[in-house]
Amino acid sequence: MKKYTHNEITILQYIFLIVGTQMGVGFLSLPRVVAEKGGTDGWMGIIIGWILSVASSIIMVKTAKKFPNDTLYDLLIRFFGKILGKVAIFIILGYTLSFSLIIFINTFLYIKAWFLPNTPDYLIVMLFSIPVLFIVRNGLRVIGRYNELIFYMTMWLPVVLLFPLKDGSFLNLLPLFKVGWKSISATLPPVIYSFLGFELVFFFYPFLKKKQYAIHGIIIANTLSMFFYLFVTISCFVFFSPDSITDFNQPVLSMLKVIEFPFIERLDVVILNILILFSSRSWILYMYCTVFSFSQLMNKQDHSLYVPVLLGLLVIGTFFVQPTWMQVTTWQKWASNAGIAVAYVFPVFLWIYSWGYEKFSRRRFS
Amino acid sequence: MINLRERGAFHIFFSGLFKRKRYSKYQQTNQNVYSEKLSSIDHFPLYPDLSMNIQVLQQMFHHAPDLVIRHFEFAGKGTKAVLVYVDGLTDKNSISNNVLSALMQSSFDPKKGLPTTVGDVEDVHSWISIEHALFAGDSALFIQGETKAFLLDTKGWPQRAIDDPKLETSLKGAHQGFVETGSQNVAMLRRYIPNRELIIKELTVGVRGKSKVFIVYLGDVASEEVLQELEDRIKQIQMDVIINTGELSELIEDNPYSPFPQFILTERPDAAASQILQGRFAVIVDRSPSVLIAPVTVMSFLQSIDDYSTRWLAASLIRLLRFFAFMITLFLPSTYVAIISYNYEVIPLKLFLSIAESRVVVPFPPIIEALLMEVTIEMMREAGVRLPAPIGQTVGIVGGIVIGQAAVQAGIVSNIMVIIVSATAIGSFIIPSYDMGTAIRMLRFPMMLLAVMFGSTGIMIGAMTLIAHLISLESLGTPYASPLAPFRFADMKDSFIRFPLWKMITRPKSVRTIQSNRQGKPKR
């Protein structure tokens, strides 16, 4: 039985969905965070993080492959029964919701700090909700198209980072392995946080049209993100001196500030606006997954009703509570830990469980 | 494979139907009264007695001074007969030469058929078909002793000669435009595609004035699914009468609340034929000179048929220019407002100084200045459209003086604003489709409001909302933003850049054609 035939996504859309979820606003501060732990060898952490995330993604796809038409909800109900499954899906729902909120608020704080310091919070959130409402209520196919389009529209972003490199020095990167493996592995938590997003493959998989390419797709997606992060980090390391990079909160933005064209003096302002487009993919997807799981919990086929409710709650929430940078940083730390649990521990557990489940049920039926 | 019966399409389609449902009650009563009257006429049979038939006719067509009832006798046995036609809808030459003179010089024999030289002759047995035929320009012949009437094809209503299309002027293409007669429009398409796979489906729309609607497509190319959807929607229309194709397009479009046109209306047969060859459908509405093309993508509105007969490099450059003009019209005034009121650090200092210099005497904030000028130019354009040409020029001159000189000298607006308004206006003229031009002209006002409230972030959010709307929009169930999202590389050959014709061997994928190769051969 195929429930989701009307919302199928192509393999390219599947890749861009995963890439879109992985790239939020985290890359702006990633070079600094990595440099704090591992110095200029920090970029190696990104490669290790990539290996881990690819491994975990493959395990996820392998698990999902056993029940190709099940969403995460169906899968959990099948494995753990009605009550435990619903509890599990409720936890996942909380996880996606908090991720969506954290990325959303992060973007919102950037915009507020840079452009609209005097506008009330709830007005900005209301403004942001308009496009989100238009996209999220439409289902995965339209979100897939959105991700695809934004990917092509923002492909030129890394090219811009090449401009300041003429003032940089590649000697900054040498010598390699000067801090030792311990420091390099200390960079893993923030790196893993930037790779988070592939765990949503459980949500995308049943919609994928050509399921035989699912593993190829997820590896390509992770690799694209890895190259992007690696490129951003290394270009920052080359541009800033090894000691001063930790002084900048968002080294990427500081680096962009240097670029000047005859017709645009401050490219960072333009890029920060494009960042809304860039990071919107991530929070829109997490929000979709939240609303989708919620509608399944409620046994409704149509998720579009809950989108305005959720956004309305968000606007009302920001009317009373004004989030700050400090709060978001704290939340991010919790979310990062939860992310390790959901994206690395949970899939392995689920894979082993599914293996046992298959054996057990086969014995029972034969 | 994208399914038409997807929930999204359904949802949009039914929200589209909603608008029709509100009016349907009113139409329902109207239709009932009318159909009761019709059925009461239909109760009468066709009598063998001529005078009885004339009585029924006179009862049917009361207050119709243009109805001509001509009594005459056949030669030979002298059988009595009556010829009925509507004066003005018929061709007088044909009636007197081919019908009356032919009939009166020969005798009538029921076994042999009518001795007339008219092409199309039909026997009918009901009054309703007689009524329809009379109003379509046929003449009806009643003969003493016959319980049927003969319909003779003598159509010849007043019509315009075929001339240059008015709205879409042609540079290199044909100089024939569609006219108000459906059958002639069909013939014009046949001239371009003389192929037996060119299929013409006839439907009737409207309760009171039955408009003939023809769906024209290539039978071995166009998608069956899309045709079904199009036919269903046309059949569901409940209206008194369809006057113009524009009305039909509003009644069958996927999302009537969208600012964007979802079908192309063209008055050029070469453009329509080219679209049919790409696998699309042309819908001809009798009495309307514009033809509807469906399904389309947002890119189709930036293409012109002349692109294909211009050299491909030049055509590509013009395509890019159109796209640029599209962006300019949509975003330039709002960007100006955002930069002047919020993000002045983005532009270089020297440019900022020259803007500041010209703005220093202006007493209004940028948004008032922009709105003032944009509304003025919209008013001038609207005034110029409907005025006869000599007066229209006056509007242009007056407007030029007001906008170009007086307003700046009086210190109401700045020079920079004048440049921006003119660039916007010219940009919107570059869009080949009038409907698309109107859509983006309208959309730049909300963009300006967003810009004044939230600066560049507002513009970004506005653009995001537009993207979100465009990618969820559908035209007859096919994705509207097609070559971009979902991305289709093969279709990109005919979008921003027009590839050389020999490279464009496939038909657009968004139309979901059965036969994907343009030459009618399978792909190598």
Range of the domain at B471: 311-479
Asked if residue B438 and residue B465 are part of one domain, the reply reads yes
| Closest residue to B455, CB basis, from A5, A116, A134 | A116
A150 neighbors A278 (Cβ within 8 angstroms): yes
| Nearest CA distance, B328 vs chain A (angstrom) | 16
Interface contact A130, partner B, CB < 8 A: yes
B205: β partners? B211
Q: Do A276 and B471 touch (CB under 8 A)?
A: no
Asked if residue B291 and residue B171 are part of one domain, the reply reads yes
pLDDT at B186: 94
Q: Which one of B122, B152, B182 terminates a domain?
A: B152
Pairing of strands B121-124, B281-285: unpaired
Interface contact A126, partner B, CB < 8 A: no
Interface contact B10, partner A, CB < 8 A: no
Residue B35, domain member (yes or no)? no
Residue B67, domain member (yes or no)? yes
Instruction: Give B-chain residues touching A136 at CB under 8 angstroms.
Output: none
| Helix (H), strand (E), coil (C) string for A222-258 | HHHHHHHHHHHHHHHHHHCCCCCHHHCCCHHHHHHCC
Residue B38, domain member (yes or no)? no
Asked if residue B323 and residue B470 are part of one domain, the reply reads yes
- The CA-CA-CA angle for residues B509, B510, B514, to 5°, reads 55
| Nearest CA distance, A328 vs chain B (angstrom) | 21
Residue A243 buriedness (CB in 10 A; 0-12 / 13-18 / 19+):
exposed
Which helix (H) or strand (E) segment holds residue B314: the answer is helix B312-341
Tokens standing for residue A235: 């270009």
B215 neighbors B244 (Cβ within 8 angstroms): no
Q: Which DSSP letter does residue B498 get?
A: B
| Nearest alpha carbon to residue A304 among B100, B472, B98 | B472
Residue B338 buriedness (CB in 10 A; 0-12 / 13-18 / 19+):
buried
Residue B222, domain member (yes or no)? yes
Q: In what order do the strands lie in the sheet with B198-205?
A: B198-205, B211-218, B281-285, B291-294, B264-266
| Nearest CA distance, A280 vs chain B (angstrom) | 9
| Nearest CA distance, B253 vs chain A (angstrom) | 19
Residue of A nearest to B469 (CA): A134
Place of tokens 């409720």: A90
Place of tokens 């026997």: B123
CB atoms within 10 A of CB A209: 13
Q: Which one of B232, B265, B296 terminates a domain?
A: B296
B283: β partners? B215, B292
Before B522, cis peptide (omega within 30)? no
Residue B487, domain member (yes or no)? no
ipTM of the complex model: 0.90
B424 neighbors B307 (Cβ within 8 angstroms): no
Global confidence as pTM: 0.87
Asked if residue B93 and residue B72 are part of one domain, the reply reads yes
Q: Does residue B298 sit in helix, strand or coil? A: helix
Q: Do A269 and B467 touch (CB under 8 A)?
A: no
| Nearest CA distance, B262 vs chain A (angstrom) | 18
Asked if residue B465 and residue B406 are part of one domain, the reply reads yes
User: Which residue of B349, B353, B449, B457 is the best one to mutate when testing the A interface, meaning the one whose CB has the most A CBs within 10 A?
Assistant: B457
B278: β partners? none
pLDDT at B285: 94
Query: What domains does chain A contain, in order, with CATH numbers?
Result: 5-365 (1.20.1740.10)
Asked if residue B59 and residue B204 are part of one domain, the reply reads no
| Closest residue to B464, CB basis, from A5, A13, A280 | A280
Sign of CA dihedral B446, B447, B453, B457: positive
Residue B88, domain member (yes or no)? yes
Asked if residue B190 and residue B77 are part of one domain, the reply reads no
Cα(A79)–Cα(A73) distance, integer angstroms? 10
Interface contact A202, partner B, CB < 8 A: no
Q: Which one of B152, B177, B197 terminates a domain?
A: B152
Q: Count of domains in chain B?
A: 3
A238 neighbors A214 (Cβ within 8 angstroms): no
Cα(B455)–Cα(B337) distance, integer angstroms? 8
Residue B260, domain member (yes or no)? yes
Q: Do B487 and A152 touch (CB under 8 A)?
A: yes
Instruction: Give B-chain residues touching A265 at CB under 8 angstroms.
Output: 345-349
User: Which residue of A4, A107, A115, A295 is the best one to mutate when testing the B interface, meaning the one whose CB has the most B CBs within 10 A?
Assistant: A115
The tens digit of pLDDT for each residue in B210-222 reads 889 999 999 989 9
| Closest residue to B454, CB basis, from A116, A262, A302 | A116
Interface contact B187, partner A, CB < 8 A: no
Pairing of strands B121-124, B80-86: unpaired
Q: Which DSSP letter does residue B284 get?
A: E
> Taking every pair of C-alpha atoms in chain A, what is the biggest distance, in angstroms?
76
| Nearest alpha carbon to residue A41 among A179, A155, A225 | A179
Q: Do A115 and B486 touch (CB under 8 A)?
A: no
| Nearest CA distance, B293 vs chain A (angstrom) | 25
Cα(A94)–Cα(A90) distance, integer angstroms? 6
Residue of B nearest to A257 (CA): B346
Interface contact A305, partner B, CB < 8 A: no
Interface contact A278, partner B, CB < 8 A: no
Asked if residue B350 and residue B281 are part of one domain, the reply reads no
Asked if residue B319 and residue B407 are part of one domain, the reply reads yes
User: Using CA atoms in the order A97, A99, A105, A109, what is the torsion angle rounded to 10 degrees?
Assistant: 180
Residue of A nearest to B335 (CA): A270
Residue B508, domain member (yes or no)? no
Q: Do B471 and A111 touch (CB under 8 A)?
A: no
Q: Do A6 and B342 touch (CB under 8 A)?
A: no
Asked if residue B320 and residue B233 are part of one domain, the reply reads no
Q: Which DSSP letter does residue B428 get?
A: H
| Nearest alpha carbon to residue A193 among A287, A15, A52, A58 | A52
| Closest residue to B457, CB basis, from A12, A111, A264 | A111
- List of residues 6+ apart from B27 with CB closer than 8 A: B207, B238, B239, B240
CA distances from B266 to A230, B301, B304, B320, B410 (A): 52, 11, 10, 22, 43
Residues of chain B with pLDDT under 70: 1-43, 519-524
User: Which residue of A2, A5, A6 is the best one to mutate when testing the B interface, meaning the one whose CB has the most B CBs within 10 A?
Assistant: A6
Asked if residue B459 and residue B372 are part of one domain, the reply reads yes
Asked if residue B91 and residue B59 are part of one domain, the reply reads yes
Question: Mind giving me the DSSP string for A52-115?
Answer: HHHHHHHHHHHHHHHSTT--HHHHHHHHHHHHHHHHHHHHHHHHHHHHHHHHHHHHHHHHHHHT
Interface contact A227, partner B, CB < 8 A: no
| Nearest alpha carbon to residue A208 among A221, A195, A196, A225 | A221
| Closest residue to A270, CB basis, from B346, B463, B481 | B346
Q: Do B467 and A131 touch (CB under 8 A)?
A: yes
CA distances from A7 to A12, A115, B489 (A): 15, 37, 21
Cα(B296)–Cα(A47) distance, integer angstroms? 45
Cα(B511)–Cα(B514) distance, integer angstroms? 9
